[in-house]
Amino acid sequence: MKRFTQLTIVGLLATSLLLSGCASKWDQQMAALKKDPIVTATWEGIEFIGSTESENRDYKSPPPHIERCYQSTLPQEVTFQTILQTAQEYGWIQSPGLSTTTSARLTKTIRYNATNSSVVSLGIGVGANECGQVYTGNVQIGIMIG
């Protein structure tokens, strides 16, 4: 009878963990980054051209990050100000002293589960070759989140 009780408890515990989801802190943080509206923001005259995301390979993985690349036919200053303004509307706070006319560093506290949050950075760079792509004559924009 004692063995039956132990097996029942182990089974219930395993089922509970399986149903509640065992997402790691890294996975929770990546999910929170993906939910931030700056990740899916769109702008007139600014075209999304690609994205990369870090991977959770093992317990030593670096913090999650997302890099999104865009190109724009708008003037460089207009492109930069448009994206910067959108980020600020979504709650990103510009870090003083870390900005130029074509780049900015912003921060935001993002909650990744019911009790925990972390401060993450958003880097915006606007230039001729921000995404490592072949220069096409358009302004390129790199946004790094994480």
Q: Is 11 a domain residue?
A: no
Using one digit for the tens of pLDDT, what is the confidence trace for 77-114? 898 899 999 999 999 999 888 788 888 899 999 888 88
Which candidate, 81, 68, 52, places its Cα nearest to that of 140?
68
Q: Give residue 93's domain range.
A: 23-145
The answer to the question of residue 89 being in a domain is yes
In a domain, 14, yes or no: no
Q: Is the pLDDT of residue 135 over 90?
A: no
Q: Which residue has the tokens 């997302």?
A: 66
Residue 28 lies in a domain: yes
Query: pTM for the complete prediction?
Result: 0.76
- 6 is a domain residue: no
Position 60 in a domain: yes
If you average pLDDT over residues 116-141, what whole number do you get? 72
Q: Is residue 7 part of a domain?
A: no
pLDDT interval class at 124 (50, 70, 90): confident
Total domain count, the chain:
1
Residue 92 · residue 38 · CB < 8 Å:
yes
